[in-house]
């Protein structure tokens, strides 16, 4: 769970980095640097791992949950579920929304200062719309894929002492497996969302693909020429020796 929380928080920190890099203030832009990013990543990793240390002590294999490793029944299980809700679902999403909106606001301010023609304004508004859509869809996907797992954890905790029929247990286990599978999608759909929503992202993707293809073609051509020259020189040496 700690690695999944780290992945979500790193996305939130990336949104914060976008905000600082787009600020008009030079002091705030200085916060967006490789050194600061490394320090924050190390600090965040250490903090998240430290917060999840109690799992090593208070988590056991629960045979009633299919079986899975789960928090011990009682206060800690309730605390762990609400902590999971806050640390993995709500707080990172809130950070993404706040810094995403602030980034879009900064970009619009820069566009007002730079743009001078009507055509430029239309292009900039289109880019603003794409940024908003990218942020909106990213947040929606994170909420839709992560929140059900948190709700399922809370439901399993508060109904752990209820008497359930075998059919109900089977239904709940099936729902749990589906929800878990869906929750992993939040960490791998950003690329597809940006590709579908943003024209600029698609153009840059095509540009990178063409550049890599051209570079690979040049490398292959040079390798072929080198091999040909080597074979020719080898043949000449053999002829001279004869």
What sections of the chain are H helices per DSSP? 2-21, 26-30, 34-51, 55-58, 75-84, 91-114, 118-158, 166-183, 190-197, 199-241
Residue 57 sits in the same domain as residue 115: yes
Residue 184 sits in the same domain as residue 210: no
For 113-135, write each residue's pLDDT tens digit: 665 545 555 555 666 667 767 77
Residue 190 sits in the same domain as residue 102: yes
Residue 192 sits in the same domain as residue 214: no
Check: CB of residue 150 under 8 Å from CB of residue 81: yes
Q: What does residue 60 show for φ and ψ, rounded to 5 degrees?
A: -130, 165
The domain boundary, picked from 162, 182, 197, lies at 197
Residue 185 sits in the same domain as residue 205: no
On the question of pLDDT at 85 being above 70, the answer is: yes
Check: CB of residue 19 under 8 Å from CB of residue 103: yes
Residue 188 sits in the same domain as residue 223: no
Cα–Cα distance measured from residue 138 to residue 151, given in angstroms and rounded to the nearest whole number: 20
Q: What does residue 68 show for φ and ψ, rounded to 5 degrees?
A: -140, 165
Residue 214 sits in the same domain as residue 180: no
Contacts of 149 (CB under 8 A, 6+ apart): 179, 180, 182, 183
Write out the residue range of the structural domain in which residue 236 sits: 198-242
CATH number of residue 21's parent domain: 1.20.1070.10
Residue 104 sits in the same domain as residue 162: yes
Count: domains in the chain: 2
If you average pLDDT over every residue of the chain, what do you get? 76
Residue 220 sits in the same domain as residue 152: no
Residue 41 sits in the same domain as residue 116: yes
Torsion sign, CA atoms 36, 39, 45, 47: negative
On the question of pLDDT at 165 being above 80, the answer is: yes
Name 70's bridge partners.
60
Is this model's pTM higher than 0.75 or not?
no
On the question of pLDDT at 5 being above 70, the answer is: yes
Residue 202 sits in the same domain as residue 156: no
Residue 162 sits in the same domain as residue 82: yes
Q: What does residue 69 show for φ and ψ, rounded to 5 degrees?
A: -80, 120
Of 69, 73, 95, which is closest to residue 5 (Cα–Cα)? 95
């Amino acid at each position: 769970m700690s690695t999944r929380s780290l992945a979500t928080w790193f996305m939130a920190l990336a949104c914060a980095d976008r905000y600082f890099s787009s600020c008009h203030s030079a002091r705030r832009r200085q916060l967006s640097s490789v050194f600061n990013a490394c320090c924050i990543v190390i600090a965040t990793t250490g903090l998240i791992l430290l917060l999840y240390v109690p799992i090593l002590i208070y988590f056991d294999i629960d045979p009633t949950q299919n079986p899975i490793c789960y928090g011990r029944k009682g206060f800690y299980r309730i605390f762990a579920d609400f902590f999971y809700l806050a640390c993995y679902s709500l707080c990172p999403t809130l950070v993404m929304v706040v810094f995403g909106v602030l980034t879009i606001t900064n970009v619009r301010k820069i566009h007002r200062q730079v743009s001078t023609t009507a055509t430029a304004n239309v292009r900039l508004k289109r880019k603003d719309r794409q940024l908003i859509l990218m942020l909106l869809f990213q947040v929606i996907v994170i909420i839709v894929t992560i929140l059900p797992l948190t709700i399922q954890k809370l439901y399993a905790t508060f109904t752990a002492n209820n008497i359930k029929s075998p059919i109900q247990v089977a239904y709940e286990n099936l729902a749990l497996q589906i929800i878990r599978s869906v929750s992993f999608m939040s960490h791998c759909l950003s690329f597809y969302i940006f590709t579908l929503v943003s024209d600029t992202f698609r153009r840059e993707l095509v540009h990178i693909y063409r550049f890599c293809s051209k570079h690979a073609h040049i490398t292959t051509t040079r390798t072929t020429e080198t091999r040909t020259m080597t074979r020719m020189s080898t043949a000449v040496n053999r002829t001279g020796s004869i």
